[in-house]
Amino acid sequence: MTASRNPRIRPNVILGVLTLVSLMTSYVEAMVVPSLPHIESALSATDEEAAWIVSAYLVVGATIAPLFGKMGDVYGKRRLYLISLALYSVAVLMAGFVPNVYYLIAARAVQGFGFALFPLGLAIVTDVFPRERVAVAQGVLSAMFAIGMTVGIIAGAYIEEYLGWRAMFHTAFAISIIMLVLASLLLWSPSPVARERIDFASTVLLASATTVILMYLTEAPYRGWLSLGQLLLLVTGFALFGGFIAYGSRSTRVLIRFDLLKRRNVMVANLLGLLSGVIMFLLFMGVIYYAEELPPYGLGLSVISAAMTLLPATLAMIFIAPLVGAITSSLGPRPVLIYGSLVSALGFYLFVWDRTSPTALVLDSFVAGVGVVSTTIPIVNMVAVSMPPDSVSVGLGFNTMVRFLGASIGPVLAATLLTDYRAYAEYIIPYLGTLTFTEGGPQAFNMIFYIGSAISIVMMVISLFTKNYRARGNAALML
């Protein structure tokens, strides 16, 4: 009997498979980051083309997440999960053999289909676990993203140094095939509640709007925020979003029903999701940039050592995330969101107060990381609980799209601040004498962390509008 027809497979086994796949995908995506300079050199690419090696995955992933979520609701979550994982595996294989940067960007774009694995996995967890355990399971899955990112940077740096950047994709392909076999054997999810036609008009409008906005964010550092071409992209993106809203307000078959998006907790979760994406990557990029920047404005650590400053905090998420999930189930999402937002604000402020050593950076990252994960888990749970059974996947897919729009803003915002607030440093180079370099100055890093703290406070205010509930058996008790 196959896993798709065997509800006797234990939920913890299913969670184990989903956890390993989530860890693998975030690990693979993070591996690319430390190797970008070498990939750029090996493929004779420009800085702008190298940026698209990362952005192509995000653009396609954020675009297809709601669609694959909807298809999961209609055709079966397990089926779409396996399709996403298979496409991701093929794309990883392609990336290891590309002849030039354009083929690599194309392969990375196809890898974006793996982006749908996260919301589909969360939806499967919602189906197979009893209501009072859903938030804990979602916490475990959410923790894998942060852990995989940090471990991926460390492993990527080692693999690139000793085996070359192509080996990163070869090893990732082998891992993805193992994950695909495990998923096909052990995953199970209930049959779809109801079959319905997917409205591709609203899908195209939403996908186009998301793509254009992400193109604007990717190109802004190279073409200027306010250049004519960039402004045209921005206006077009908002116009397409307006078209999606106008169409959705009249259609009864829109990709995701607007009456569901207007539910209080769904609106709160999507707003918080956008902001949490921004602060997560402000934290990640701010710490990495500062740790790697040479003294006197940074710590001058290697790529591996810089990632190690985040490792204790991310490994702690293995224990903290399930605890946050359990508290969310027992107390409800509102107090957890308020707590997480305040801790996040404190953590970002600690970076301003003291970041003079690797130890201080580790402690600051731990506090901020606890705050960020304490907001992420209730956000996901609010969407899963607020959606009817036939719309859980598309609701989580939409929330994932919104969160990764925020995740795309975070790195661009950090890079812009580091460019705008530069300082000069003199270094004595043997045989060359004293040379002057420009680097991101103290004000740039202070601005990054102040903004992260301010956004966390805004999230706390938005959290006050959450309609609280507690998990009781197979229902949620609204308070």
Please determine, for residue 477, whether its predicted confidence score (pLDDT) is greater than 60.
no
Q: What is the mean pLDDT of residues 339-357?
A: 95
Greater model confidence, 285 or 436: 285
Least confident of 30-44, 105-119, 275-289, 388-402: 30-44
Q: Grade residue 285 by pLDDT with cuts at 50, 70 and 90.
A: confident
Angle 225-231-234 from CA coordinates, rounded to 5° = 95
Instruction: In whole angstroms, give the CA distance from residue 209 to residue 239.
Output: 8
Q: Grade residue 8 by pLDDT with cuts at 50, 70 and 90.
A: low
Q: Grade residue 113 by pLDDT with cuts at 50, 70 and 90.
A: very high
Over residues 398-408, the pLDDT tens digits come to 998 898 888 88
The DSSP-derived string for 176-238 is HHHHHHHHHHH---PPPS------HHHHHHHHHHHHHHHHHHHHHHHH-TTSHHHHHHHHHHH
The DSSP-derived string for 151-167 is HHHHHHHHHHHHT-HHH
Q: What is the mean pLDDT of residues 447-462?
A: 96
pLDDT for the residue 236? 96
pLDDT for the residue 472? 62
Q: Nearest-CA neighbor of 384 among 290, 271, 471?
A: 471
Peptide bond into 192 cis (omega under 30): no
Q: Grade residue 135 by pLDDT with cuts at 50, 70 and 90.
A: confident
Q: What is the pTM of this model?
A: 0.85
CB 436 within 8 A of CB 426: yes
Among 79-88, 129-138, 149-158, 365-374, the range with the most confident prediction by mean pLDDT is 79-88
Please determine, for residue 35, whether its predicted confidence score (pLDDT) is greater than 80.
no
Over residues 208-233, the pLDDT tens digits come to 999 999 889 888 877 888 899 999 99
Residue for token pair 């050199």: 41
Please determine, for residue 273, whether its predicted confidence score (pLDDT) is greater than 70.
yes
CB 264 within 8 A of CB 468: no
Instruction: In whole angstroms, give the CA distance from residue 154 to residue 108.
Output: 20
pLDDT for the residue 3? 41
Instruction: In whole angstroms, give the CA distance from residue 386 to residue 254.
Output: 18
Over residues 410-424, the pLDDT tens digits come to 888 887 888 788 776
Least confident of 120-134, 140-154, 359-373, 440-454: 140-154
CB 334 within 8 A of CB 466: yes
Q: Nearest-CA neighbor of 290 among 353, 354, 345, 355?
A: 355
Q: Grade residue 473 by pLDDT with cuts at 50, 70 and 90.
A: low
Q: What are phi and psi of 401, to 5 degrees?
A: -60, -45
CB atoms within 10 A of CB 355: 24
Instruction: In whole angstroms, give the CA distance from residue 206 to residue 112.
Output: 16
Instruction: In whole angstroms, give the CA distance from residue 476 to residue 13.
Output: 25
Please determine, for residue 60, whether its predicted confidence score (pLDDT) is greater than 80.
yes
Which of the 8 DSSP states describes residue 430? T
Over residues 77-108, the pLDDT tens digits come to 999 999 999 999 999 999 999 999 999 999 99
